[in-house]
Structure 1
Amino acid sequence: MINPDLQLGERLDGLPAQEIYIIQNPDMFSYSLDAILLAHFAQVKGRGRGLTVDLGAGTGAVGLFYAPKTVGPVYLVEIQAQLAAMAKRSVVLNQLQKRVQVLQADMQAIFNDIKPGSAEVVLSNPPYFPLNETTKVNDDEHYLLARHEVSIDLPALVQVANKLLKNNGKFYMVHRPERLAEILAALTARKLMPKRIQFVYGKADREANMVLIEAIKSGRPGGVRIMPPLIAYQDNNEYTAAMHEILYGPAWQ
C-alpha cells in the first residue's frame, strides 16, 4: 500500500484478511458488513481470469475486497462522481490499477464501455429500499441514492446483470430478507437461476437481517442450496469465531 491521499473529512478503513484499504467519507457514505460478506460469499469462476463487474460500487469496497481472489480485470461501476473519485484513489492506494478500473456512470448506460455478455461474475450491494408514497427518505443525496431505489429498481438491476453476464456466469447480491420473494421472482424472470442462499443474523436469537444470493445465468431450474447461517455477534457483542475468521483470518481462497 502507498501513502493514502486523504482529503478533508475522509478516513481510511481496511480489511485485514484481504489487506485492502478503502478511502471513505462518513458524511457521504461508508461501507458496512454487508459489503464484506458479499465479497467473501462470492466465488471465483474457473481460474478467476474472467471479467468481474461490481454494480453500484460506491467507494469500491465489494469489488476491491473481491479483487485479490481473482487475476482477471474488475470494473467498479458507480453513478455518484464523488464516490467514484474516492474509489479511483483506493484502486491506486492498493496498487490495483493494472486490473481494476472505475467507471463513473449509470449502470444502465455502461454497454459502450463493457461489452454485453462479457462478464464471468457480477457483484451488487444495491439500494435496499423501494420508493413509494410512504417511504421515509434521507435528505442527503449520497445516502438517498445508496439506500433507496432512486436511480434503479430491483428488476432493472437484475436485467443489467443478465445483460453483462456470459451464459453460466454468476451473479452475487446481498439484500434484505424481507424482499426475498421479490428478489427470487426478479432473478428467475430474467433467467438468472438462484443456486446458493445464505442468511446472516446479527445474533443467534434474532431474525436474519441480510441474505446473500448466488444465481447462474441460464442455469437449470432447481438445485437451490441453503447454506449454514452466518451469525455476526456473540451475546457479549464480540464477533463470533466465524466472523472473526472472515475479517482477520487468512486471505480468502
Structure 2
Amino acid sequence: MKTEQLGPYTLSWPEGVFPLGGDALALGEFATVRPRWRVCDLGTGSGVLLLLLARRAEGLSLTGVELDPLSARTARSNLERNGLAGEILPADLRSVPLPAGAFDLVVSNPPYFSLGSGGSGGPTRSEEHCALEELCAAAARLVRNGGRFALCHRPERLTDVVCTLRASGLEPKRLKLVSHGPGHPPALLLVEGVRQGRPGLTIEE
C-alpha cells in the first residue's frame, strides 16, 4: 500500500490501482470549484481528484464513478479514512444511474490513447472501454446548465478534445498547456467547458 499526503488528507492505494500522478494534481488545482458544489469524478480511480477538490472548497457533495471494483473500493476507503461523506458507484460511466443535471462540476482524468493510435499507455490509458466522445456525452448529461466539466489530456489531442466538448454541448471556456519547464514543449492539456456556455475561450498561463 502506497500513501501520499494531500494537504489535510491522506491518499492510499494498493498495487493494481492507478497511482497518483502529476496530471491529477494539476487537474485538481485547475478545475473551478465553489463551496457546497455537487461534484462528480468520472473514472475516479483511487478518489484522488475528490480529495484534491475537497481541500479547496468546503461542504462539497462528492460522487465518484469507477468501473474497476478494486479502484472503487479504494476510493470509498479514501473518503471514509479522511472523514469525507460521499458516494462511490462501481459502474460504467456511460450508463451510470445518476440523474441528469445533478452536478455543478464534473471532472475526469480519462484514458489518453485512442484506439488505433499506436500509443502505449497500458489498459488504463486506452480508450478501449470509453472513448472521448462517450466521456463528454456522459459529462454533458450529468452537469447542470451553466455547470462545468474539467479534464486533462495530451496536448496532441487538443483538436479532438475541444471539438468533442463543443459537439457535446460543453463550450470550452478555459484552457491551459503545462510543460515540465522553460524550453520544454507542453506535456499536459487542461480544459474546462461550460454546459450551454457562450463561445469565448481563455488561454491561461
Q: Where does structure 2 lack aligned partners over 5 or more consecutive residues?
A: none
Q: TM-score, normalised by structure 2?
A: 0.94
1:227 and 1:151, CA in 2 relative to 1: closer, same or farther beyond 3 A? Answer: same
Q: TM-score, normalised by structure 1?
A: 0.77
In 2, distance between residues paired with 1:133 and 1:214?
24
Which residue of 143, 160, 163 corresponds with 1:165?
Answer: 143
Match in the other structure for 1:182:
160
Aligned residues: 204
1:64 and 1:31, CA in 2 relative to 1: closer, same or farther beyond 3 A? Answer: same
Instruction: Tell whether the 8 Å contact from 2:113 to 2:121 is kept in structure 1 after alignment.
Output: no
1:89 is matched by which residue type in structure 2?
S
Which residue of 48, 57, 60 corresponds with 2:44?
Answer: 57
In 2, distance between residues paired with 1:28 and 1:90?
13
1:130 and 1:225, CA in 2 relative to 1: closer, same or farther beyond 3 A? Answer: same
In 1, distance between residues paired with 2:120 and 2:31?
31
The 5 A counterparts of 1:16-95 are 18-45=7-34, 48-68=35-55, 69-95=57-83
Identity score, percent: 31
Instruction: Tell whether the 8 Å contact from 1:51 to 1:119 is kept in structure 2 after alignment.
Output: yes
1:20 and 1:115, CA in 2 relative to 1: closer, same or farther beyond 3 A? Answer: same
1:194 and 1:52, CA in 2 relative to 1: closer, same or farther beyond 3 A? Answer: same
Q: Where does structure 1 lack aligned partners over 5 or more consecutive residues?
A: 1-9, 139-143, 229-253
Shift of 1:134: 4.0
Q: Does 1:107 align with 2:98?
A: no
1:115 and 1:27, CA in 2 relative to 1: closer, same or farther beyond 3 A? Answer: closer
In 1, distance between residues paired with 2:37 and 2:121?
38
In 1, distance between residues paired with 2:118 and 2:36?
45
Shift of 1:13: 1.4
In 1, distance between residues paired with 2:117 and 2:140?
29
